[in-house]
Homo-oligomer: A and B are copies of this chain.
Amino acid sequence: MSPKVLVVGSGGVGAVAALSLTLNGKCETTLVVRSDHDKVVAEGYTFRSVTYGNFDNWRPVHVARSVADAATHGPFDFIVVTTKNIPDGPMTCEDIIRPAVSLQTTIVLIQNGIGIEGPMIQEFPGNVVLSSVTLIGSTNINCEVHNLHKDTMLLSPFNNPNVSAEIAQQKAREFADLYQNADEKVNKVILEESSLQSRWEKLVYNSVFNTICTIVELDVNRCQIFGSNELFNKAMNEVVAIAASDGVVIDDSTKEKFMHIGDGLFYSPSMTVDRMKKQYFELEVILGNPLRIAREKNVPCPVLETVYQLLKMVQLKMKEEKGAITINQQDYKGVNSEKYPEIFQATLHK
C-alpha cells in the first residue's frame, strides 16, 4: 500500500506540492481546499508550471473541504503544511492539522520563519517534524496556478528530543523520495542535516524587507528610493547578529545580494500583499521569534524591535477592524485628567 499524504493549504505552494506528489506516483495525495472547494471539485486547477508543465482541469485523487473531512482518507503517513504560520491569528497550525495527525504521521512544514517547530513538537511530541524551505515562485489565484521557478526544496529534520535522529532522517529520505521526480531536471529535493542555515539566510531578507515594506505598504524599490539603504543595512546586520548567536554564520555577500535583489522589480513581498488584502501576516515566525532569540542571547536589535512593535500595532489594528478583539475605552481611563488638567486639555484639543 502506498503512503498517504495530506497537503494542507492550497495556495501556490500547496497546489504545486499536490501536483508534484501525484505526478511522481509514489503516494496517495489528499488536498484540503477550503474556499475554492466546490470549484476545484467541479473544474479542477489550471497549472502553468515551469517545473511540471501545463495542466487543465487537474485535481488530486482526493479533495477535502476541511482537515476533519480529509481524515476519512487517512491515516496519513505525511501531512504537508503549506498554510501561513500565524500563531497570533485565529487558528494555530497545530489546531489546523490536529484532526488528521496520528502517532505515525510525519509533519512537513513548508513554511517560512524560525522556531516554527517548537509549538508543533510541543503539541505532537512523538511525531517527526520536517523542515522544508522552498524556492518555487508560485501563485494560485482563483484556481489558476502559475509556477515560474523550478521547484527546489531544502529538506531536513527539525531537532525533536523525543525522536531518534535516525528515524527523523529516515522520514526525511522517505519524503524526499515521494517528492523527488525521477528526472532531477524537473524538480530538486536537497537533503540537509539542519535547516538553521537556510532559514536564517532567508530571514536576512524576510525579517527586514518584508516587514518594513509591510509597515508602509510599499514595494521594496519604493522603500529604498524613499527611505535609505542604511535602515535596511542596519536591520540586516541585526538579523546576522542574531543568527550568529544561534550558531549560524552568514556571509556579508548575502546582505549585498539581498540589498539589490529587487532592483528595478518594484516587487511587494507577500507579507505586504497580505496586509493590503487585510489578511493577517506572519509577524511572529518572521520577526517575533528571531527577536525572542535575540533577547535571550542579549543581542541588541533596536531597529528590528521598533519594526516589530509597529507591526504588532498594525496586526492588532487589523484584528480590531475585523472584530476579533474589542477595546473598551472605559477600561483605559487614567487619572491624568485630574493630575494635569491644563496639558490634558491642550493635548486633547490642539
Enumerate chain A interface residues (CB-CB to B < 8 A). 12, 135-139, 146, 148-150, 152, 205, 212, 215-218, 221-223, 225-228, 230-231, 234, 257, 260-267, 270, 302-303, 305-307, 309-310, 312-314, 316-317, 320, 327, 329-330, 332-337, 340, 342-350
Contacts and interface: CB of A to CB of B under 8 A. Distances in A.
Contact of A265 (B266, B327, B347): B347
A346 B137 contact: yes
A12 to B, nearest CB: 8
Q: How many copies does the complex hold?
A: 2
Contacts of A337: 264
A234 B226 CA distance: 25
A139 to B, nearest CB: 7
A87 to B, nearest CB: 17
Contacts of A218: 313, 317
Contacts of A263: 332-336
Contacts of A310: 212, 215-216, 227, 310
Nearest to A263: B334
Contact of A226 (B138, B212, B313): B313
Contact of A345 (B12, B148, B327): B148
Contacts of A212: 310
B223 A345 contact: no
Contacts of A139: 349
A332 B261 CA distance: 12
Nearest to A146: B349
17 contacts: A137-B345, A139-B349, A149-B349, A221-B332, A222-B316, A225-B332, A226-B312, A226-B316, A226-B317, A231-B305, A231-B309, A260-B335, A261-B336, A261-B344, A262-B348, A264-B337, A303-B306
A310 B225 CA distance: 12
Q: Which of A215, A264, A303, A340 is the most central at the interface, judged by chain B CB atoms within 10 Å of its CB?
A: A264
A136 B346 contact: yes
A84 to B, nearest CB: 13
A264 B340 contact: no
A340 B257 CA distance: 8
A114 B302 CA distance: 25
